Structure 1
Amino acid sequence: MEKIVSQECIETERFDLRPLRRSDQGMIELHSGDARVAQMTTSVPHPLPPGSVEAMISRAMSDQRDEDIWAMDGTKQGRSEVMGLISLQKMDRNQSEVSYWVAPPYWNTGLASEAVQALVLANPTSNQTMFACVFQDNPASARVLTHCGFEYLGDAENYSVARDRAVPTWTYSRKL
């Protein structure tokens, strides 16, 4: 039997943000294993090592997790069960960091903006502030954040596992 994770499901008109389940492993491996996706994240390695997605799903289902991860599930409109992932990494002082990736077939469809906006409106962890960082060579993700009301804070850099180096980033925040 699959463990029930106490994490809110967030509905939108086109898709649902729902907790991960073990059956998502294949689709997550397919999409996050794409170099174009992995290289725009800090934590997804490329190539994906065996067991990495299974371990990530196990962490997401743990009662002791410090990050809530949702699948962008489009089945209610006849689309894929996993069109991307979005997460909230818990921080101190009632804050979280938003991270997301969208599968290439759904790029430029407004999916990321709708997912971020749904997460902000639902505010499932009752945050006062959400932060997000995007690589400077990914202006589309920066547009998603500004479209969803995030304000630019400044430049920094984060390490990308897939790129094996530090990459310049733009940092954003949104007060809730």
Structure 2
Amino acid sequence: MLRPLRRADMGLIEHYARDRRVAEMTTAIPHPLPPGATDAFVTRCLGDAGDEVVWVMDASEASLGELVGLITLERMDRGQAEIGYWVAPVVWNTGLATEAVRALMEANPLGNAQVFGKVFQDNPASARVLTNAGFDYIGDAEAFSVARGAVVPQWTYIRQMA
């Protein structure tokens, strides 16, 4: 189930974001996670930041936990958005991330015409999530990973929503 973020989610977000394996597969999560980073993230998301919308992957119905990952859409120009997500290691390779991405794309809550996704090339499981959810590969790119302290090669994907 995808649901809105709550302040009560901070503990589990911090727990998983502190995991190097999770942080290193994102561009923005630092490792080690500094004090106050989770609070600042949740406060920004619950405020009227505008460009990024965040949902919690809640798997409590499957007895896996009320927060096992986050999924985001960041608004871009011309009816486009970029999807981002991370999942807790406890649910890696379970299909949960694919299910969450598919559900979000079916709902298309921002009314996007196109959604882009990017994954690090050393994370083929995340690439499968996108392709299994209807995204097509469109090319290579690079992005800085804060946790790695390095520029990392990426694969870029697009999904046409119309």
The answer to whether TM tops 0.5 is yes
Residue 154 of structure 1 is matched in structure 2 by: 139
Q: After TM superposition, what 4+ stretches of structure 1 lie above 6 angstroms from structure 2? A: none
Report deviation, 1:171: 0.2
Structure 1 residues 39-118: aligned runs within 5 Å: 39-118=24-103
Note if contact 1:134-1:141 (Cα within 8 Å) is conserved in structure 2: yes
CA distance in 2, matches of 1:64, 1:107: 30
Q: CA deviation at 1:98?
A: 0.3
1:22 is matched with: 7
Local SS of the residue matching 1:108: coil
In structure 1, what is the Cα distance between the partners aligned to 2:96 and 2:49? Answer: 29
SS in 2 for 1:70: strand
TM-score by length of 2: 0.97
Residue by residue, what CA displacement relative to the aligned partner does 1:141-164 show, whole Å, maximum 9, x if unpaired?
111111111010100100000001
Identity of aligned residues (%): 58
Matched residue SS, 1:99? strand
Alignment of 1:125-164 (within 5 A): 125-164=110-149
**Structure 2: runs of 5 or more not aligned:** none
Alpha-carbon separation, structure 1, partners of 2:127 and 2:104: 16
2:143 is paired with a residue of what secondary structure? strand
Query: Which deviates more from structure 2 when the two are superposed, residues 107-116 or residues 61-70?
Result: 61-70
Considering only aligned residues, what root-mean-square deviation do their CA atoms show, in Å?
Answer: 0.8
74-83 or 147-156, which moves further after superposition? 74-83
Q: Which residue of 2 aligns with 1:120?
A: 105
**Residues in 1 aligned to 2:118 and 2:89: alpha-carbon distance in whole angstroms:** 20
